[in-house]
Structure 1
């Protein structure tokens, strides 16, 4: 049984409601405490740097280490810590791999904010597809393949082109568009790089622009904070290279995307917190791609803050504390663009300081320096840096983003390249 009424207050001098979080990022701890909560944090030391975890430890009221690869050991750590410290809620909005286990323990203890099955629906791509098929929502042809060996036959049954997704990997890793039989070799090489053998989901290829819908739920009611347009790299990998918030959308399309998303979240039984739901607008209308029971990554919360003024991270904990939901109204547009230089040896970086001095640049980060080897961009972790800009309109923000992309250059193997990968003549 889940619930989200007031947490039972502990006895003693500290009467703050008690929130035990699994894998809380440091800003979550700070914002939960600012909203009035006692915060316990459970982390695996292998998942962040010692310096980062020192920051979490300093901010939290309680800091506990656990081995997240030991599923039963993690469950026991959560269970014992929650009982010993009288946690009113146990909550997890970090990475998906351990999310269901944490919510199962929370449900067992009567300290959950969502049914574990609702979280499973949002974190398990296959479970999501099966639910949508049962409900007749967002129909998409799909097949599950338990191992790598079963994928080619599933692709043949779905028909080419087909998208093959590893269901246990995140961050666009090893998502592949299979366009012709000869792609078997390229796909096999890709999954071997990740050492991944399954399971997979094989789906029909959905053609059209892609969006993500950022929502906050409370008592099973879903507030659409906004819709973000995705900028995707070329097939077959579809690595996300940028986001625009809010998406420039016709009103009828915006309503249809919002309605499908909220209907989907209700069908899952999702009750509380953020969700990040990806949708493609196809010639047949909107289709759900996948969803997560967490905030969007890739700096989307920062885009929301710049475009609307809403601190969506703080809003999670304000909602948990019982504060009323505030309306969200865009006042401008914000864009994040990830740098994707060609792979090779970096000889020189140009224009970085000049771009950083532009008044409309909110964040600017480059992970490369002269002498480094720029890796091939094949997932979200291998991108080379990013910039965030904002403007009063979509057109203004886009023009500003283009200016930065044209200002920041790297000379790679003797050839100058813009931050979006376009190359010029050899130096």
Structure 2
């Protein structure tokens, strides 16, 4: 455990798995920040950066709930932390909030976090409140899933309720899909529990909110670009979503009513919604910021730094947006998903990254690497973020970048937009 510096009078905030920018932005709003991480969840280089930024740094095995609770209680008492906060992965959120309640340092009731983190509990809550009706069944182990699929009716979506990041989500369309689904859950060594739901058809959106004293402000709605079934791994996002005003209001009303029913009081929430023929339906929600660089899209499009706004609100200050970029109205992230194989060459990355409207560009596979298959959000091959003054300009710029990046895989040229051709011929 890294010792803090000289005593000071800053309010003391103890955070579970805070990403490095959270540490810096909380400190910028006047907080002393203690950071607790499981070293298995990030690289040593990343955690060294967190350690260097934090006023206090410690590590623990998050797979042991009692150890996590005990470590949080010890850190909070020894260093005078008055708030305990978790904005990372949802698997350990409930445990962290239970420890915070023991210390009277919580920002939300642990039961509110459970209603958001546990997909089956969330569905029960929605059903009890008559919100977003969806046919579903919770089953404890994989053995019960095939029968539940038959009862719900194919096609059905099967979700591992204890996994996150699209891991193991599967569209079960035919009886013969049992073998493929079994292979998917085997990859994660997962046996249950599961949620089996009716397949909701329609465009999907991410709704970002900030809550304070039980009131919920919708920061923005982002359009999700989904990959093909049965895994539906996201291939991109567009912010703001191109939605008519009446649909915007309907989505906002559903999400804020849902968060109120959960008893959620403070912080960001990331809620996924599908617009069906029967109106909006909640897919799932988490007590954290959206992933996939959505906070950066919001900042590019609106000027609001959501991450810093959390800590401004925690410090009881208004979360006013920074000076918005006058020429930016739409921001897009697209993820690279190349076919599996050996990389012979990579072209166009440096040129694309230098374009003035490209905000970020990363491509992980390089010459000599083997490209893995994309099975979930963690296995995608990189991303690019572009912005434009209108949706049309942003989409055109994104298409230009995707067409400019080429990866030669097993003697075949593959562009980031998916077009392919033999080596030595124009794609």
TM-score by length of 1: 0.95
Change (3 A) 1:117 1:69: same
Unaligned runs of 5+ in 1: 1-11
Size of the aligned set, in residue pairs, is 416
Question: CA offsets per residue over residues 332-360 of structure 1, 9 Å max, x none?
Answer: 10000000111111112121122112111
Decide whether the 8 Å contact of 2:399 with 2:417 is kept in 1. Answer: no
Tell me by how many angstroms 1:425 deviates. Answer: 4.1
1:369 counterpart = 2:366: yes
Residue in 1 aligned with 2:229? 235
Unaligned runs of 5+ in 2: 1-5
Matched, 1:190 2:184: yes
Question: Within 2, Cα distance between the matches of 1:69 and 1:273?
Answer: 25
CA distance in 2, matches of 1:135, 1:369: 51
Among 217, 224, 233, the residue aligned to 2:218: 224
Give the one of 327, 334, 341 matched to 1:344: 341
Moved over 3 A (4+): 325-331
Determine which of 321, 328, 333 is the counterpart of 2:330.
333
Cα distance, 1:326 vs. partner? Answer: 3.2
Q: In the alignment, is residue 153 of structure 1 matched against residue 127 of structure 2?
A: no
Q: Does 1:48 align with 2:42?
A: yes
User: In the alignment, what sits opposite 1:8?
Assistant: none
Distance (Å, rounded) in 1 between the aligned partners of 2:350 and 2:57 = 39
Residue pairs, 1:11-26, within 5 angstroms: 14-26=8-20
Give the secondary structure class of the aligned counterpart of 1:286. strand
Matched, 1:416 2:410: no
CA spacing shift, 1:327–1:371, aligned 2, 3 Å: closer
1:200 equivalent in structure 2: 194
- In the aligned structure 2, how far is the partner of 1:50 from the partner of 1:128? 35
Q: Distance in 1 between matches of 2:410 and 2:141?
A: 39
Within-5 A mapping of 1:3-402: 14-326=8-320, 331-402=328-399
Q: Deviation string for 1:43-84 (max 9, x for gaps)?
A: 111111222111111111111111111110110010111111
Contact conserved, 2:305 with 2:321, CA < 8 A, in 1?
A: no
User: What secondary structure is seen at the aligned counterpart in 1 of 2:421?
Assistant: coil
SS of the aligned residue for 1:424 comes to strand
Q: 1:421 Cα shift?
A: 2.8
Shift of 1:206: 0.1
Q: Tell me if structure 1 keeps the 8 A contact 2:340–2:370.
A: yes
Q: Match for residue 7 of structure 1? A: none
Where 2:275 maps in the other structure, the secondary structure is strand
Counterpart secondary structure, 1:275: strand
**Structure-2 residue corresponding to 1:3:** none
Cα distance in 1 for residues equivalent to 2:147 and 2:336: 37
CA contact (8 A) 1:342 1:421 kept: no
Structure 2: distance between partners of 1:69 and 1:129: 26
**Deviating more after overlay: 411-420 vs 212-221:** 411-420
Task: Tell me the distance in 2 between the aligned counterparts of 1:31 and 1:244.
Answer: 25
Corresponding residue SS for 2:366: coil
The whole-number CA distance in structure 1 between the counterparts of 2:52 and 2:7 is 21
**C-alpha displacement of 1:195:** 1.1
In structure 2, the CA distance between the partners of 1:225 and 1:254, relative to structure 1 (3 Å rule), is: same
Give the Å deviation of 1:409: 1.0
Q: Aligned equivalents of 1:260 and 1:64: distance in 2?
A: 39
RMSD: 1.4
1:13 deviates by: 5.5
> Is the Cα contact below 8 Å between 1:92 and 1:99 reproduced in 2?
yes
The CA distance in 2 between the partners of 1:266 and 1:420, in whole Å, is 41
| Alpha-carbon distance, 1:108 to partner | 1.8
Q: Aligned to 1:345, what secondary structure does the other structure show?
A: strand
Q: Distance in 2 between matches of 1:322 and 1:20?
A: 17
Separation of aligned partners in 2, 1:282 and 1:405: 30
